Amino acid sequence: MVKNNKLYLLLLVLASCNFSKDVSVTLPNYNNRLAVECYIEAGKPLKAAITTTQGFFDPLSIPDVKNARVIIATDNHVDTLKYSISVSSNKGFNYESSAVADSIIGTEYRLTVIDSLGKAITAVTKRKSSPPLPDISYSFAADSSVSLTIQFSDNPVTQDYYRVLVNKDSLTTELKASFLFQDIVRVNPATNEATLSTLNKFAKGDSLIVRVFTLNKDYYQFLNSVELAKQVNGNPFVQPAQVITNIQGGFGIFTSLQYVTKGIKIQ
């Protein structure tokens, strides 16, 4: 009994001790950078989302950038985008021009952004040719679920990068399938055909929209690095992934979009 009392007193003493110690850590100042998301689409108005990056401990807010000078230029034309909030393809933009982008393959676009504090960023992109229209078929599994097979031709002369997206009913709905790849990975060199198959996630009566994009290499690298960053986020055993950007002096992506769209209804 005496031994138990002594043990109990020892535990009380240990419990009353404060083993914690405050440690002050001086973090380096975080320099916010301009961030851009801007896509050039033939026949559509020029739009850009101009924001700033934020530090981990910054107050939560929408990092909107007003009073910036946003210019998109080609060899034949210069457009200045004005501050205007809009939403397109489920993305928000805060600068826009009434001018529309041309569809000339090989056109080089140059972006310049200067904010009210004099911070400047630049970027360059070039229009590629659109991919061929894909062939789409589907097959039923034993449980009546449906998978898609998407096939299209690849140019064997050039190194190409592709993105394929599948939506149900409309382009504003959640993505049902997504592929991002280089031609050397997915294309059969004997036939120069890319063949993609989805999981059995569709059903009879579904109306599906398939888009096939040809990407500039820097946009492919940007998307791929963003996906890797998502996968390692919160995992303490994996080295953080750095997002690749083509914005000089800032962060984000400036690229041209070229794609074809084809719909199919599962009968």
119 Cβ contact list (under 8 Å, min separation 6): 33, 34, 249, 250
- pLDDT higher than threshold 50 for residue 34: yes
User: In terms of domains, do 91 and 159 share one?
Assistant: no
User: In terms of domains, do 118 and 157 share one?
Assistant: no
- Side chain identity at 119, as an amino acid letter? K
Examine residue 208 and state whether it is found in any structural domain, yes or no: yes
**Domain-terminating residue out of 105, 126, 147:** 126
For 39-72, the pLDDT digits (tens) are 999 999 999 999 998 655 555 556 889 999 999 9
pTM of the model: 0.83
90 Cβ contact list (under 8 Å, min separation 6): 172
User: In terms of domains, do 144 and 208 share one?
Assistant: yes
The answer to whether 244 and 225 have CB atoms below 8 angstroms apart is yes
Question: How many domains does the chain divide into?
Answer: 2
pLDDT at 181: 97
Of the candidates 147, 134, 141, the residue with the CA atom closest to the CA atom of residue 195: 134
Structural domain including 193 reads 135-241+259-265
224 Cβ contact list (under 8 Å, min separation 6): 180, 244
For all residues of the chain together, what is the average pLDDT? 87
User: In terms of domains, do 146 and 105 share one?
Assistant: no
- pLDDT higher than threshold 50 for residue 27: no
What are the backbone dihedrals phi and psi of residue 145, each rounded to the nearest 5 degrees, phi first? -75, 160
Examine residue 252 and state whether it is found in any structural domain, yes or no: no
- Kindly list the distances between the CA atom of residue 67 and the CA atoms of 24, 58, 96, in Å, as whole numbers in the listed order: 38, 22, 13
